[in-house]
Amino acid sequence: MTRTIGTFKEIAIIITCIILSFGLKSQNRWTKTYFEGENPYGESIIEYYDKGYLLAGRYGPNYPEFNWLVKTDVNGELIWNKVIGHFSNSIVISDGTDSNREGDIFLVGSTSFYAESYYDPLIMKLNACGEKEWCKVFYEEGLNYAEDVIALGDGGCVAVLRYMNVDLVHDRICLTKFNSVGDMHWKQCYNSLDTNIHNQEAQNLIMTPDKGFLITGYCSYASPDPPHSWYYKPYYIKTDSSGNFEWETVVHSEITDKGGHAWTTTIDPDSNNFYSSITHKYYSSRADYAPALLKMDFTGNIIDIYDFALPNSFGTMIEAKFITDTSLAASVTSGGANTHPKAVIIDTLGNIIKQTTPLENDWIGHVEITFDNKVLYQTNMNDGDVFDTYLFKLNQSLESDTIYTQIFTYDSLCDGEIVSDTIVQDDCGIIVGMEEIYRAKSEIENKILIYPNPARDKFTVSSQQSAVSSWRIEVYDLFGRKVDEMQVTKGQTKIEVNTIGWKKGLYVIKVRNKIGMIGSGKVILD
């Protein structure tokens, strides 16, 4: 009996130790969530200059009023956060976020701050204290976006823009450069001379070893075989450091039954080749697709495409980054029923080395490689109508990493304490375009001319169409309220409008005569 009791005690001790070991293991599991209960959706993750992490995202799944920026320590613990947006309008931050060694943070997306029915591209710079230094908005008709951004070493940035023409045929992909204080140095748009290319979409921007830029995306391409149907193909544009076009590549342009979408591109550690994450589509029978790694040289020649799973079996790879000289950590979306996004490690020939499912969810994941070659994997979970944002840190075996115990110094480039607060997208510089471009557009489309634009204390409205009769100018603010109205006598072709005392922002100008509307336009008061 005594031996039996002793045995029971030994068993109890063993069981207790096992329970404790599992408990300690789960407590050390490197998993973080942010803004629990507030419906956050994470869009991007980057390592900051001080070895902490920056996460950006939005509240809720669809075009929200507010976005968020989170700064954490090396263990994912929250240090500060910023809310970006304003209740009276919407702002969308894209998954393009970048920073430089000086701690400058660049965010891009779109905003409806200057218009109610459409969005304009937004580029914002924060300093190392998380304070807004400047923001710029491209005032354009239609739905326009800033998709991705590269932080430059001089404190400036280069951003890729989408849909910069109201006809949605021209200027679908553009680049723009700003200096450290927000002055625009140039804007270049890329309209291919290849008439088989249509519906170009930009997804990603990287700087190349020669200080130029590579835009990754996809396009619709006319099949070389009758009946010349349109198929999606991976698409790349290479420019020099000033945004001048150098070359473009359409993958599988010579054949009909293959194509797909390109999402992101990286450069190998030896700076020899591009490696791009693509959805490789096979159109021969139906839309079969496979995650693939595309290898391309620096002149746009495709070296090879490596499928690392059978079509329709494993999903789509949207992002891959080098973790060693010969392997990449990647994010793969779900590939069918009862499957979930995965974190994988593949070699440069597309062979899977390791794979894991950090979270049983259905949403895309993003990866970042840390200074010590660990993998950050950010994804989201949806429970009904509510989102949660998760961050995992994995080692090269894709196991949960350990917690750092050494001391790191954070935000050393900021002189004071960083306050968690709200950043509003007001007081942004408005970019309308060169006056002669605006002038030509106004005369052709609206038959009126408004200049200067942007304006300060006054602007002039001119209309040659009004010389034959008297006419009237009406000025409205963004809320549709009439701000001013003026009558113009017959034979007078222009009138000066005094704006002293008016609020800064956008105003709608309408010109009418006794027959009806002559034209309309918009003016920015800066």
Q: Phi and psi for 77 in degrees, rounded to 5? A: -80, 135
- Decide if 258 contacts 250 (C-beta within 8 A): no
Pairwise CA distance, residues 511 & 521, whole Å:
9
Pairwise CA distance, residues 46 & 376, whole Å:
9
Q: Pull the structure tokens for residue 356.
A: 């894991």
Predicted local distance difference test score (pLDDT) of residue 201? 96
Neighbour count for residue 479 (Cβ, 10 Å): 6
Predicted local distance difference test score (pLDDT) of residue 9? 45
Pairwise CA distance, residues 236 & 217, whole Å:
6
- Decide if 264 contacts 320 (C-beta within 8 A): yes
Q: Pull the structure tokens for residue 199.
A: 């519906």
Amino acid at 450: I
Pairwise CA distance, residues 521 & 449, whole Å:
8
Domain boundaries, the chain: 35-191+401-431, 192-313, 435-525
Helix (H, G, I), strand (E, B), or coil: what is residue 132? strand
Predicted local distance difference test score (pLDDT) of residue 61? 58
Average pLDDT, consecutive stretches of 10 residues, N- to C-terminus, the chain (526 residues): 45 43 48 89 94 90 72 96 76 89 95 73 95 89 88 96 88 96 93 94 97 97 85 97 96 93 97 96 82 97 94 87 96 71 94 92 89 95 85 95 93 93 80 43 57 89 70 78 85 89 84 74 83
Q: Which of 128, 93, 41, 60 is nearest to 410 (CA)?
A: 128
Q: Pull the structure tokens for residue 215.
A: 């835009």
Predicted local distance difference test score (pLDDT) of residue 492? 86
DSSP per-residue string spanning 457-486: SEEEEE-GGGTTS-EEEEEE-TTS-EEEEE
State which fold the 435-525 domain adopts: Immunoglobulin-like (2.60.40)
Pairwise CA distance, residues 82 & 297, whole Å:
40
Cα separation values, 83 from 37, 57, 79, 99, 102, Å: 16, 10, 14, 18, 22
